[in-house]
Structure 1
Amino acid sequence: MGVRLDKVLADSGGVALRHDVLRTVPEYELAWAVRAGHVLRPLPRTFLLPGVVADPVAVIGAAMTYAGVPAAVSHLSALRLWGLPVPEASWVHLMTGETRHLRGAPGVRVHRREGFGLEPPEVVTRVGLPVTRIEDAIVDSWPLLDGEAKRAPAITAVAMRMTTPQRLSEALERAPRLAGRRHLVRLIGLLDVGCRSPLELWGHDHVFVGRPFAGLRRQVAVRLEDRTVYLDLLDEQTGLNIELDGAAYHSSRQDRERDLRRDAALTALGFTVVRYSAARLYREPQIVRAEVLRMLTRRR
């Protein structure tokens, strides 16, 4: 690749529009670089260095440059920039309040919302790009996902204390016609009562349900020396702490050692810690339910 072309792209962060490149580089040189694979053209009139394609931030930035309208990263693309779990997507999603038509391009989907503004609180800046609020990104992406991937962004965001069920409810109120809305309403309700993982959602619906478990509290904060831990389920009357061990945080040797240290510290404070694996909760819900009922009955 020519020195001039390399410098133009490098100076612009690896992404440049055609008219910017042609100010310095002859058209034949740009065309040769594209044919040779030294420069990529993922969007019309938009050129990237090959190494930049692996950087999702640069690709999203290129899409915004191509769009040419005041816009913010939204939907699944915003979830990615927020660091939430989201499947690999072939589209870059942008949100704008502009009414003028944007020519379609492979890989760029522009959503329009009347009255949408690019200023806080609707939009914040992450990694140098304008991005919709985390709550709006979760709600907007709900119809675009399936299965467990559908619930994962909301569960993760609340579990990591990036948002709250209340703020998610407020965002949902701004989308009264959202496809699948009632299912998201129910998920937010479960998050509001303290469920923080798919396993806890399952336990709430299939194991720890009914009057005998009405006294259990979820996500109870307990101070252990220099840190605060959150108990999955706690019966305050007896001090019985039920922990639900999902694969995400309880599968490695280091995870096991961490859990043992935590359990010892809680026992020293007077709690009784009982752990159930995901395998037992999914395969033996009624047996687990009966065991916990016996524990509660004897201690009460």
Structure 2
Amino acid sequence: MNVVLQQLVERGGGLVTRATALQVVPEWTLQRACGCGELVRVLPGVLAAAHLLRDGPGADTPAVSRLTFALGHRAALAWAAGAGALSHLSALDVWGMRRQTAGDVVHLSAPGGASLRTRPGVNVHRRQGFFPEPPQVVVREGLTVTRLEQTLVDSWPILPSAERRAPVIRAVNDWLTTPSRLEMALGSAPKMHDRAAFRTLLTRLAEGCRSPLEIWGHERAFTGPGMPTFRRQVRIRVGPRTMYLDLFAERERVNIELDGATTHGDPRQREIDLRRDALLATVGILVVRFAHRRLFHETDDVRRETLAILTNRRTSATA
């Protein structure tokens, strides 16, 4: 490859646009690099170093899909030339909420009147009122992406149903957004598929649920007749240590802890839990733990046991 062109490609991390290349080398130099297989056209006007393309599963695999997702994202933005931003599953990847997998296309959002069109390997979502500039987009890791709240709303209907809640829960747990901000973003999608489920999830998160297990418990075991209004994720300080209680019945001084599927069988975690429970006992808080398996498969038993424990604590307190 021509030395000047090679340096340009290297500075671009393996990518160069045709317009940029022609500013420093003649047309025939670019044609020769492509003809010799040193550069490959991955999108109109966007070229990539051939050695960066992975072997595709078939001859019809789009060239942009044979790049790593990080490079494919950059290629798509170079092709859009400022007229679009990464969105949907691609933005979700950039935000670190869910990695794209082999076979996923690059998603771009563009204004309704933009000339960009969906093509092999790139799905263009044109929407009225959208402009790829702040405050509707941000620059993250050098890439222009839709804001996190919009990204989560956009991704919800195209994710497999079993994977929809995890990115939303994680984003709230990591303090990257709030249920109220997500509720505002949801207002832009009045006809979104499974919208009611998204809104229910936001309600649970606003109530303090912080995991799928807590949501399950809230909806199936720890609400209804006889159950107190549990406070969720209650912050409590005992001596020098600060802890957060999953479900706290304040009157009865009972803390219900929901142990995830990965907790069982971990001796180190078990020791941490025992020390924590003993510390809470010093201030009169009884910790009751229910395992993932029991909550899902013995829901009625868990409910009955919880009601019995709460009743016993109330009786003891008045005796």
User: Which of the five TM-score ranges fits, normalised by the shorter chain?
Assistant: 0.7 to 0.9
Quick check: 248-257 or 113-122, which moved more? 248-257
Partner of 1:131: helix, strand, or coil? strand
Letter in 2 for 1:67: A
Q: Kindly indicate whether the alpha-carbon contact (under 8 Å) linking 1:233 and 1:243 is maintained by their aligned counterparts in 2.
A: yes
Quick check: 250-259 or 63-72, which moved more? 250-259
Distance 1:100 1:167, change over 3 A: closer
Matched, 1:63 2:82: no
Letter in 2 for 1:27: Q
Q: TM-score under structure 2 normalisation? A: 0.82
Distance 1:30 1:179, change over 3 A: same
Write out aligned runs for 1:60-209 (5 A). 60-85=73-98, 88=101, 90-97=104-111, 99-209=113-223
Quick check: 243-252 or 91-100, which moved more? 243-252
Partner of 2:37: helix, strand, or coil? helix
Matched, 1:33 2:37: yes
Partner of 2:13: helix, strand, or coil? coil
Letter in 2 for 1:29: A
Unaligned runs of 5+ in 1: none
Distance 1:164 1:105, change over 3 A: same
Matched, 1:233 2:247: yes
Q: Kindly indicate whether the alpha-carbon contact (under 8 Å) linking 1:91 and 1:108 is maintained by their aligned counterparts in 2.
A: yes
Identity of aligned residues (%): 43
Quick check: 21-30 or 73-82, which moved more? 21-30
Quick check: 254-263 or 228-237, which moved more? 254-263
Q: Kindly indicate whether the alpha-carbon contact (under 8 Å) linking 1:69 and 1:98 is maintained by their aligned counterparts in 2.
A: no
Structure 1 residue 249, shift from structure 2 partner:
6.4
Quick check: 52-61 or 132-141, which moved more? 52-61
Partner of 2:83: helix, strand, or coil? coil
RMSD over aligned CA atoms reads 2.6
Quick check: 240-249 or 146-155, which moved more? 240-249
Letter in 2 for 1:265: L
Hey, what's the Cα distance between the residues in 2 that align with 1:15 and 1:265? 57
Distance 1:277 1:130, change over 3 A: same
Distance 1:83 1:175, change over 3 A: same
Write out aligned runs for 1:193-272 (5 A). 193-223=207-237, 228-247=242-261, 252-272=266-286
Structure 1 residue 205, shift from structure 2 partner:
1.7
Hey, what's the Cα distance between the residues in 2 that align with 1:226 and 1:136? 40
Hey, what's the Cα distance between the residues in 1 that align with 2:313 and 2:78? 64
Structure 1 residue 13, shift from structure 2 partner:
2.2
> How many aligned positions are there?
296
Letter in 2 for 1:57: A
Quick check: 176-185 or 278-287, which moved more? 176-185
Letter in 2 for 1:167: R
Distance 1:248 1:152, change over 3 A: farther
Larger radius of gyration: 2
The equivalent of 1:16 in structure 2 is: 16
Unaligned runs of 5+ in 2: 54-65, 315-319
Q: TM-score under structure 1 normalisation? A: 0.87
Structure 1 residue 10, shift from structure 2 partner:
0.8
Partner of 1:163: helix, strand, or coil? coil
Structure 1 segments of 4+ aligned residues over 6 angstroms from their partners: none
Distance 1:194 1:26, change over 3 A: closer
Distance 1:6 1:272, change over 3 A: farther
Partner of 2:226: helix, strand, or coil? helix
Hey, what's the Cα distance between the residues in 1 that align with 2:161 and 2:220? 18
The equivalent of 1:289 in structure 2 is: 303
Quick check: 88-97 or 261-270, which moved more? 261-270
Structure 1 residue 250, shift from structure 2 partner:
6.6
Structure 1 residue 4, shift from structure 2 partner:
4.2
Distance 1:274 1:31, change over 3 A: farther
Measured against aligned partners, the alpha-carbon deviations of 1:110-163 in whole angstroms (never above 9, x if no partner) come to 112222233433222211122211111111111101222111111211222221
The equivalent of 2:7 in structure 1 is: 7
